[in-house]
Amino acid sequence: MKPIPVSAFVEQNVRNVCQKPLTTLGFLTFSFSVMGTCLKFRNVPLRCCSIKRTYSFTSAEALPSHAKVVICGGGVQGAALGYYLAQHGWGKDTIILDQGKIGKARAHHMSGLIGIFKPTPAETRITEESIKLYDELARMGFDTGFKQCGSLLLARTRDRLTHFRRMKSHSVCRKIECYLLTNEEIAKRYPYINTQDLQGGLWIPIDAVADPHTICESLATLAAAQGVRMFEHIQVNRVLTSQNKVAAVETDRGTIKCDFFVNCAGFWARSLGKKTQPLVKVPVQAVEHYYLHTKPIKDVDENMPVVRDLDGHVYFRVKDGCILAGGFEPLAKPVFEDGALPLSVEESQLEVDWDHFAPMLEQMVHRVPLMRGAVLDKLCNGPESFSPDCKWVLGETSEVDNYFVATGMKSLGIASAGGVAKHLSEWIVTGKPPYPLNELNVQRFVPLHNNRQFLLERMREVPGVHYQLPYPFSEFRTGRRLRVLSVFPTP
């Protein structure tokens, strides 16, 4: 089915959205009804619309008894999927349930970086789709902080520079514009970067930043405008099956019969999968992820690109005159080790461990000495879900037909959401993915990958993979010897 162009939005507390408004290039036509009167606005220049928060949620209403698709999770992934299903004409048949508030989960816990180069072509393509979507939202007038400021990757070693040269050659077939820079070029363009120990860099102009929270709200708004219903403060207890096929979803407010279920429950996805009979394995585990905010720094360059010092495991961006910096440490800290997961956003806030963060902070001030004199505003620590091979977890599960998942976003949830939702919606509607997504398919895992002990052990190593040099044939060192031949020597 041809996607329906995006169109209307609903003002806060306004119900009964008219279903047919359409965008025209550069102008927006929208309509909504207040107390039974349908109001229409035509040809409003897009930039004139200040689109703020806006979808009407319906937690006070009774749950429907049936829906074609039930999405569990109203984070950025669930909202994006709702939006794309609506584009396929399934808006009125889709509902999103969240145990907290839609769009409020962890969208605040993000640095908002969107880097297009990913380890595999499928992931790169997905990120490309996300950038296209966020660009479209910006052109429609949604204030999402989307800015294509580009990114600069730094190499401290010759091996890293060789890898950048490989990326440069891959960029030709992947059609990604990028340029190798010498140290002198980096120093000239970005004088605040310490280039003393560098070998060079790679400049990628298409890379972007955005505000994850408003992206999530914008997508929820557009989804609601096309009929998707959203219910807050409703917990999905389990998925009921019949002959190994999704039959219904049991919540704390009643049961909803449905044809498809999508588990977009972030780091809760594994525990939700375990509650289904037969058990659905979703091997993800939450890990601590840190970033800091400085207070505004005088004369900071607002157009500074995202800087990724991969060998120092840290990244930087500028936001509202402040520096925001985070990292992917080589030895990470899994959280919720006893399996007890928080039930609210507040409970998901993690205590900061300065001893753990200190090595990253050291690398930050080394690379951007300007930070030495900056005043710290706050250090954030949020849980983020990773899979055992540091790849997203998507698709239909092998255990239950019509049970889909989209999780394990490995701190790239905003970069992935648009593209993942586009492909997953097509997969749900047509029965197959738009192109082979084998390396991301949830079916790549076997039951032992879902073992908590294995996940905890493996997760210490996984986040570091992001910035690790991908040498050929490299293997994980943790979580080994799970299956060995009987003749395997024991220590």
- Positions that interact with ligand FAD (CB under 6 A): 72-78, 97-100, 105-107, 109-113, 235-236, 264-266, 268, 272, 289, 291, 380, 382, 384, 407, 409, 411-415
- Nearer to ligand FAD among residue 32 and residue 357 (C-beta): 357
**In contact, 87 and 136? CB cutoff 8 Å:** no
> Cα 148 from chain centroid?
18
Cα(458)–Cα(452) distance, rounded to whole angstroms? 10
Query: Which C-beta is closer to ligand FAD: that of 72 or that of 138?
Result: 72
CA distance 199 to 363: 17
Q: Are 389 and 123 in contact (CB under 8 A)?
A: no
Based on CB atoms, which residue is closest to ligand FAD, 112 or 305?
112
What residue is closest to ligand FAD based on CB? 413
Question: CB burial class (10 A; 0-12, 13-18, 19+) of residue 349?
Answer: middle
148: left (phi over 0), alpha (psi -120 to 50) or beta: beta
Cα 11 from Cα 158, distance rounded (Å): 54
* Helical ranges in 368-412 per DSSP H: none
Cis peptide before 119 (omega within 30 of 0): no
Q: To the nearest whole angstrom, how small is the minimum distance from the Cβ of residue 112 to ligand FAD?
A: 5
Query: How far apart are CB 270 and ligand FAD at their closest, in Å?
Result: 10
What is the CB neighbour count within 10 angstroms for residue 107?
Answer: 22
Closest alpha carbon to 259 in 271, 249, 250: 249
Nearest-approach distance from CB 278 to ligand FAD, in angstroms: 18
Between residues 31 and 111, which has the closer beta carbon with respect to ligand FAD?
Answer: 111
CB of 130 to ligand FAD, least distance (A): 8
End-to-end CA distance of the chain: 59
> Which pair of tokens denotes residue 107?
């969208």
- Burial label, 139 (beta-carbon count in 10 A; 0-12, 13-18, 19+): middle
Which residues, at least 6 apart from 415, have a Cβ–Cβ distance to it below 8 Å? 113, 114, 115, 127, 130
Shortest Cβ distance from residue 60 to ligand FAD (Å)? 17
For ligand FAD, give the closer residue by CB, 197 or 302: 302
Closest distance of CB 100 from ligand FAD, Å: 4
Q: Tell which residue, 51, 53, 57, 86, has the closest CA to residue 69.
A: 86
Nearest-approach distance from CB 165 to ligand FAD, in angstroms: 26
- For ligand FAD, give the closer residue by CB, 77 or 441: 77
Q: Which is nearer to ligand FAD, 198 or 360 (CB)?
A: 360
At residue 128, the 3 state secondary structure works out as helix
Task: Pick the closer one to ligand FAD by CB: 252 or 401.
Answer: 252
| Closest distance of CB 455 from ligand FAD, Å | 17
Q: How far is the CB of 463 from ligand FAD (least distance, A)?
A: 10
Decide whether 78 or 479 has the Cβ nearer to ligand FAD: 78
Nearer to ligand FAD, 76 or 222 (CB): 76
Q: From CA 174, how far away is CA 171, in angstroms rounded? A: 5
Q: How far is the CB of 472 from ligand FAD (least distance, A)?
A: 27
